[in-house]
Amino acid sequence: MPDKINSQPGLDAYWMPFTANRRFKREPRLLARAEGMHYYDQNGRAILDATAGLWCVNAGHARPKIIEAVRRQIGEMDYAPSFNLSHPIAFEFASRVAELTPRGMDRIFFANSGSEAVDSALKIALAYQRARGQGTRTRLIGRTRGYHGVGFGGISVGGIVRNRMYFGTLLTGVDHLPHTHDIKRNAFSRGLPEHGAELADALEDIVALHDASTIAAVIVEPVAGSTGVLLPPKGYLERLRAICDKHGILLIFDEVITGFGRLGAPFASEYFGIRPDIITMAKGLTNGTVPMGAVAVDRKIHDTMMERADAPIELFHGYTYSGHPLACAAGIATLDTYKEEKLFEHAAALAPYWQEAMHSLKDARHVIDIRDLGLIVGIELEPRPGKPTERALEAFETAFDAGLLIRVTGDIIALSPPLIVDKQQIDQMADMLRAVLARID
């Protein structure tokens, strides 16, 4: 007979995502409202948000311009279909997004989440190869410890074992590059690690195994966030770009996390000075207020598919809620907020202070590595013998109870505060986290 999940009424019906449901429902931690840099629980207790919600609330919570834009739009038009119809605000928002993407990557396809953006990007890559007469290019290359959402395409190219192991054979024709995390050589790196650029050369081995004529695209996160803030070594992304160019392989940057100021630039592609062929985005696109994802595509890909289409519909793909009016309204107001408050510039200016504060935790209890870039940090803890993830999960719960929201993945604490964060709040995060780590075994 199954265990009773909880003794508190009202929690049973909701099957929570990526959550230890039985553990949570025995001792729930519930958020009631949010404003600025803080969440508040049901008793009104403030909780400092060190994770921008879930990497997404880049402009902070309850921003007036965004609230008003959504309120106004729902009163004007709550929904409009995007199949053979549309509405002006979708075109306006696409143009605004295209102003931030690399030059020439100005064709924007709307989805509803990062997962859908990734699956859309993979399908566009396959369709493009077919349209240009390279229909044998059907293989997709991801990376171990990569996270690309939870659609079947995303978990196929992704490389997190528990996201994959329960769901059968997934997509066929997928291979993986090695991840870039090398704690032995790169522990406590400040910014990009020195060692590991040669890991990109594994793509040449995959080409030798399968032949370039079978490979459509490579997808990587410029900075792998959900798997624990894994940074690209110096020169790694440049080598990956060069190998893709050499073999006619599309390069997709999954910027669901790194997009919209997280590294102090609109996208990681600008931060690194590397131009992919396709960019996926979500999260900060609407400041987390209305679910939305998008794909930015190089004009050569879009134009090839327009010019060589063998049917009136050039891409047989889309969603009921593509370009949803409320999401577009929220997105435009979000981009206005970023621009008017110079939040990307603020993040870039604050990054050195963030780095110093986070690396001050090097001597904190249980810490075996710290790695940072922009306003992101990964703090790796030594696992408990025979009980991986338990120490970090206890740190998460202890931090929440102390008034600090952190994110944990495996035995890694990942922080990514809203871009409105100030130096005093950064110091507060570091001090609170040190106290939390001192309290747990």
Task: Tell me the whole-structure pTM to 2 decimals.
Answer: 0.97
So what's the pLDDT on residue 390?
96
> 355 with 376: CB under 8 angstroms?
no
For position 65, what pLDDT does the model report? 98
pLDDT at 3 over 70: no
Provide, rounded to the nearest whole percent, the portion of the chain with pLDDT above 90: 98
Mean pLDDT of 344-354: 98
Considering the chain, what percentage of its residues have pLDDT values greater than 70? 98
* pLDDT score recorded for residue 71: 98
As a whole number, the mean pLDDT across the chain is 96
Residue 96: its pLDDT value, please?
98
Report d(CA 65, CA 345) in Å as an integer: 20
pLDDT recorded at residue 36:
98
Within the chain, which residue ranges are assigned CATH 3.90.1150.10?
A: 21-59+342-439
Exposed/middle/buried for residue 3 (C-beta within 10 Å: 0-12, 13-18, 19+): exposed
CA angle 355, 200, 203 (to 5 degrees): 150
* Chain segment 305-347, per-residue pLDDT in tens: 999 999 999 999 999 999 999 999 999 999 999 999 999 999 9
Please report, as a single letter, which amino acid is at residue 164. Answer: R
pLDDT digits (tens, 9 = 90+) for 383-405: 999 999 999 999 999 999 999 99
Task: State yes or no: pLDDT of 2 exceeds 60.
Answer: no
Give the model confidence (pLDDT) of 156-211 as tens digits. Answer: 999 999 999 999 999 999 999 999 999 999 999 999 999 999 999 999 999 999 99
21-59+342-439 has which fold? Aspartate Aminotransferase, domain 1 (3.90.1150)
Please say if the pLDDT value at position 114 is more than 80. yes
Least confident of 8-12, 245-249, 347-351: 8-12
Position 247 scores a pLDDT of 98
Give the chain's end-to-end CA distance (angstroms, integer): 34
Return residue ranges of the chain for CATH 3.40.640.10.
Answer: 67-340
* Interval 278-297: pLDDT, tens: 999 999 999 999 999 999 99
Judge: domain 67-340, CATH 3.40.640.10: yes
- Average pLDDT, stretch 114-131? 98
pLDDT at 8: 54
Q: Dump pLDDT digits (tens) for 57-110.
A: 999 999 999 999 999 999 999 999 999 999 999 999 999 999 999 999 999 999
Kindly report, residue by residue over 256-282, the tens digit of the pLDDT. Answer: 999 999 999 999 999 999 999 999 999
